[in-house]
Structure 1
Amino acid sequence: MSATRVCALSELEQDTARRVEVDGVPMAVVLDGNGEVHAIGDTCTHGDISLSEGFVEGDTLECWAHGSAFSLSTGRPLNLPAYEPVPVYAVTIDGDDVLIDPAVRKEVN
């Protein structure tokens, strides 16, 4: 697979999640307060809830339904009830284009 354009960088609102789908893979794309773009799996691991409808604060995206917050950098849940991480995808910025390849997961330490 190759990276797919999901949106323009200029279309992203700071500290707001946007749902995109690439090759059937739902993702939440976030432009954080530091200007970094993140892409994580859009489905909360606690319930079948879209994370892109949640709340962004700093480096976290919080599920609106049950309150689990996930790190935008690692995908790890930071509190219960979720205990499984969501995938984190590598993002490439090419000019004003935001590109994501769902087959390439970001290396997380």
Structure 2
Amino acid sequence: MSKGIRVAALDDIPEGEGIAVGKELTGTGDGIALLRDTDGSVWALDDTCTHEDASLADGWVEDGFVECPLHASRFCLKNGEVQGLPATKSTCPHRVEVRDGEVYLFPGEAP
């Protein structure tokens, strides 16, 4: 079993915000947004909104959802399901773990 990729310190991700991790590091087709909810939990979704070319890491994170900064599409942090138009396609979630204040990403693995 993979130990994951260390991608950030927990303190690098403010609550209610996100940071982008490049596809060069993750080996995925898209970058991955690490998103920290207002309860302190950390989630990972493909970074590019499925509606238009905008970074979800630049969106607003609150109460289990991220809102795209471009047209306000909403996605569930737990499973990537689209929850608000104009997007109609869900995004891909990835498993993350926080260990000793460090965030580890498991690209391609479901949460």
State the TM-score bracket (shorter-chain normalisation): 0.7 to 0.9
Higher-strand-fraction structure: 1
2:98 is aligned, of 90, 93, 101, to 93
Cα RMSD between the aligned structures? 1.5
2:27 is aligned, of 23, 27, 45, to 23
Q: 2:97–2:104: 8 Å Cα contact kept in structure 1?
A: yes
In structure 1, stretches of 5+ residues that fail to align are none
| Equivalenced residues, count | 106
Alignment of 1:1-109 (within 5 A): 2=2, 3-21=4-22, 22-24=26-28, 25-106=30-111
List structure 1 segments (4+ residues) > 4 angstroms apart after TM superposition.
Answer: none
Q: How much identity, in percent, do the aligned residues show?
A: 34
Cα separation, 2, equivalents of 1:76 and 1:15: 19
In structure 2, stretches of 5+ residues that fail to align are none
The TM-score normalised by the length of structure 2 is 0.86
The one-letter amino acid paired with 2:6 is: R
Cα separation, 1, equivalents of 2:68 and 2:19: 13
